[in-house]
Amino acid sequence: METSSSATSLSQLTSGEVHVIVGPMFAGKTTALLRRIQCETDKGRSVAVIKSNKDTRYGLDSIVTHDGAKLPCWALPDLLSFSEKLGTEAYEKLDVIGIDEAQFFGDLYDFCCKAADHDGKTVIVAGLDGDYLRKRFGSVLDIIPLADTVTKLTARCELCGKRAFFTLRKTDDTQTELIGGADVYMPVCRRHYVSGQVVIEATRSVLEKQKVLCDSYVEATSC
């Protein structure tokens, strides 16, 4: 009897999904996310979009692509508080949840598990799979094992026009989270990523040496 009850309970669960869109900056990840969300809306499904409140480049009330397309969204510091902020009844009626700039959410894995596995939601995630050093960025790679589909997008190398898989940071800032656009980052192919990193490291080394010499000069003249 208990086995039959468990089977009935399982059969009544709505199956959720997780779809992941990754790639370097300027690869069209947000555009792809918006396209998927629009497709779900056209099917008559209830949708909501979330982005990190760390990204204030185009305002907090919408996600915006680099070419200007936008969609209203929830700007939140974390994902697990979303159902509470939206309201239990509204959350239960929701079919699809889109997440942009997913690398900024530390609770991404836990949220996707809860939303898809237990709440039956379709979760569409867009984010960077690597930082400017080509190392893992946030929890985006952690949800790959949860995903029904994974789409790896590429951009166009700003220096040669070939397919760009990587993001090169133009500045000498070294923190992982540095929000910016074309003024700070550019998409590059493997060859120009490697050569670009060499130039940036050499420039940083020269600047550091100049700073040391300048500091030494200031100390000497103040004596």
| Contact criterion met (CB below 8 Å) for 124 and 21 | yes
Identify the active-site residue in 101, 158, 177, 201: 101
Supply the DSSP symbol for 79.
Answer: S
Non-local CB neighbours of 113 within 8 Å, separated by 6+ positions: 146
Supply the DSSP symbol for 136.
Answer: B
**185 is annotated as contributing to ligand binding:** yes
End-to-end Cα separation, the chain, in angstroms: 90
Integer Cα distance of 208 and 214 in angstroms: 10
| Contact criterion met (CB below 8 Å) for 50 and 76 | yes
* Pairing of the two strands 122-127 and 96-100: parallel
Active site annotation includes 2: no
* Catalytic residue positions, numbered: 101
Q: Binding site for substrate: which residues? A: 185
Binding-site residue set: 185
